[in-house]
Chains A and B, each alone.
Chain A
Amino acid sequence: MLIDWFTVGAQALNFLILVWLMRRFLYKPILHAIDEREKRIAAELSNADAKKAEAEKEHDEFQNKNAEFDQQRAALMSKATDEAQAERQRLLDEARKAADALSAKRQETLRNDAHNLNQAISRRAQKEVFAIARKALTDLATTSLEERLGEVFTRRLREMDGKAKEGLGAALKTAADPAVVRSTFDVPAEQRAAIQNALNETFSAEIRVRFETAPDLISGIELTTNGQKVAWSIADYLASLEKGVDELLKEKDKPEAKAEPKPESKPVVRAEAKPKQELEEPKPGAKSQ
């Protein structure tokens, strides 16, 4: 008999036990391990995906920030450049202004110096011119000239016009002291008599006269009485001329101070030229008051 039924039953039981054992020790643990591994791999993959997404997000964020930073930097740079440009321009302008002011001041100083010099030269020239004129006239003043002066003086007296004549006449008549006739040199007796006559005739009265010498008159003659005076002298001419020249110089100073500085030669020429012109037209020195 090939089949032993006890063995068949025992083997069936053995097989069932083996099935249980294999399930317990082989299939379950192995399948469990495989499942766990797969879960773990899936978890790691999803984790990696999440990390990748996060990294990409951070990367994007970083790039955005970088771009923003670049923009800000560029803006700051351009702003700083503009400011520096403006500051440079301002400093340049200031320096130019300061330079201009300095140069203007210097020019002003130069102009003032030139002006002062001009004035000094003018005054000096004026003084010299008058001194020379005074000296020349003083040197020329001789007795014969005095005689001529006396003649001129008498003619003047005779030619006096109405009002001045009346005023002087009244003064001569009412004066307590005798009228004083002053001259540079002593008036000779003939001339004294002529003057006395001219006075008497002119005012139709006996005029008392006293004769004096005054060297500062520079060949001239004058009659003074009770505050009234009739005179003719070159000194008067010169004084009147000097006054006119002074006034002219003062007038010239005013516009010159405002005007641009001019070459130095011109004012000198003018200063010389003008007094000459003035000298050509002396005013009448006779004054009656």
Chain B
Amino acid sequence: MHLSPDQIVFWQYGVFKLNATIAFTWALMLVLAGGSRLITRKLSIGLERSRWQNLLEILVTGIEKQIKEVGLSQPQKYLGFLGTLFLFVATASLCTVIPGYEPPTASLSTTAALALCVFVAVPFFGIEEQGVRNYLKSYTKPTFIMLPFNIISELSRTLALAVRLFGNMMSGAMIIGILLTITPFIFPIVMTVLGLLTGMVQAYIFSILAAVYIAAATRVRKPKPEPMQTVPA
């Protein structure tokens, strides 16, 4: 019994190694990119389109809508990053129905890598939107005293992102493994269904949180009353 797919190492040369996490990530990348390529190769711009194109259009427009609802006025700019986050995490958890599959998101290394990406992307988009000065100034809001707390919150939320996803994915796999030894019939299937659900929820949470962080970083001061307007509704 191992806690992380990192521990399954297929090949190693010094620091470089090929473990199950990387291998399954590549597999997922292949599936996602290859599938997209296959479907989008013959896109129709007419009124009639294929079912697969319809599915992808629903997915993309759905993600776009979610990003917009979070408060990012130009969703297409962030669609590449946030959409890929959601699709990767969701696919990784959906594929748990395949026997012998180890979700890469059940490895803390993967979730940490994703959290680091968010950690880098937030200031990247923030600076791009409002400039270095304004972005750095936002750490001293509302007062200068808040600077250390803001920095701590930045770091801690990244850690929380990584650990939350890792914990949920790992626990799902672990629970199924333990239940298989206790009640091998029926119950593991129910837990697998539950695992699929929690996986989807985690994918949604991860990408929405990332969107919220980016939105917070890119928001210029003036539109502060905006959330006030949406909340009472």
Residues of A participating in the B interface, judged by any CB pair closer than 8 Å: 2-12, 14-19, 21-23, 25-27, 29-34, 36-37, 40-41
CA distance A34 to B84 in the complex (A): 19
Interface centre among A2, A7, A37 (most CB of B within 10 A): A7
- Contact of B56 with A by CB under 8 A: yes
Q: Which residues of A contact B104 (CB under 8 A)?
A: 11
- Report if B171 contacts A (CB, 8 A): no
* Bound CA span A121–B122, Å: 152
Say yes or no: B21 contacts A6, CB within 8 Å: no
Partner of A22 from the list B4, B36, B61 (CB cut-off 8 Å) is B36
Give 1 or 0 for each of B96-112: 1 = CB within 8 Å of chain A CB: 00000000100111101
Known: A11-B104, A30-B43. Is A3-B29 also a contact (CB below 8 A)? Answer: no
Taking the closest CB of chain B, its distance from the CB of A215, in whole angstroms, is 144
B87 — which chain A residues lie within 8 A by C-beta?
22
Contact, CB under 8 Å: A31 / B76: yes
Task: List the A side residues contacting B76 at CB < 8 Å.
Answer: 27, 31
A4 touches which one: B33, B40, B109 (CB < 8 A)? B109
Would A26 and B81 be within 8 Å (CB), given that A4-B6, A7-B109, A15-B117 are in contact? no
- A37 to B61, alpha carbons, bound, how many Å? 14
User: In the assembled complex, which residues on chain B have CB atoms less than 8 Å from the CB atom of A12?
Assistant: 113-114, 116-117
Q: Is the CB of B60 within 8 A of A26?
A: yes
B22 touches A11 (CB 8 A): yes
Indicate which residue in B32, B43, B49, B113 contacts A29 across the interface (CB closer than 8 Å).
B43
Return chain A residues, CB-CB under 8 Å to B29: 14, 17-18, 21
Please choose the segment from B12-20, B130-138, B216-224 that sits at the chain A interface, where 4 or more of its residues have CB less than 8 A away: B12-20
Residue from B17, B21, B61, B107 within 8 A of A34 (CB atoms): B61
Interface residues on B, range: 35 or more
What is the predominant secondary structure among interface residues of chain A facing chain B? helix
Q: Which of B4-39 contact A (CB under 8 A)?
A: 4, 6, 15-17, 19, 21-22, 25-26, 29, 32-33, 36-37
Is there an interface contact between A33 and B43, defined as CB atoms closer than 8 Å?
yes
Q: Confirm or deny: B47 has a beta carbon within 8 angstroms of a beta carbon on chain A.
A: yes
Q: How far is the CB of B27 from chain A (nearest CB, A)?
A: 11
Cα A17 to Cα B43 with chains together (Å):
23
Q: Majority SS of interface residues in chain B?
A: helix
Q: Give chain A nearest CB distance to B6 CB in angstroms.
A: 5
Whether B43 pairs with A4 at a CB distance below 8 angstroms is no
23 CB < 8 A contacts A-B: A6-B16, A8-B113, A10-B22, A11-B22, A14-B29, A15-B84, A15-B88, A15-B114, A18-B88, A22-B87, A23-B84, A25-B37, A26-B40, A27-B79, A29-B43, A30-B53, A30-B57, A31-B79, A33-B44, A33-B49, A34-B60, A37-B45, A37-B47
Q: Say whether B108 contacts A3, CB under 8 Å.
A: yes
Residue of A nearest to B111 (CB): A11
- Complex-state Cα separation, A3 to B46, whole angstroms: 49
What's the minimum C-beta distance from A13 to chain B, rounded to whole angstroms? 8
Nearest B residue to A21 via CB reads B33
Is the CB–CB distance between A22 and B25 below 8 Å?
no
A10 CB contacts on chain B under 8 angstroms: 22, 113
| Contact between chains at A22 and B33 (CB < 8 Å) | yes
Decide yes or no: A14 and B26 within 8 Å by CB, A29-B43, A30-B43 being known contacts: yes
Q: State whether A2 touches B3 (Cβ < 8 A).
A: yes
Pick from B4, B22, B36: contact of A2, CB under 8 Å: B4
The reply to whether A25 and B36 contact each other, CB–CB distance below 8 Å, is: yes
Q: From B6, which residue of chain A is reached at the shortest CB distance?
A: A4
Contact of B109 among A11, A19, A40 (CB under 8 A): A11
In chain A, what residue has the closest Cβ to B166? A2
Find chain A residues with CB under 8 A from B79 CB: 27, 31
Residue B80 lies at the interface, judged by CB distance under 8 Å to chain A: yes
Instruction: Give chain A residues whose Cβ lies under 8 Å from the Cβ of B114.
Output: 11-12, 15
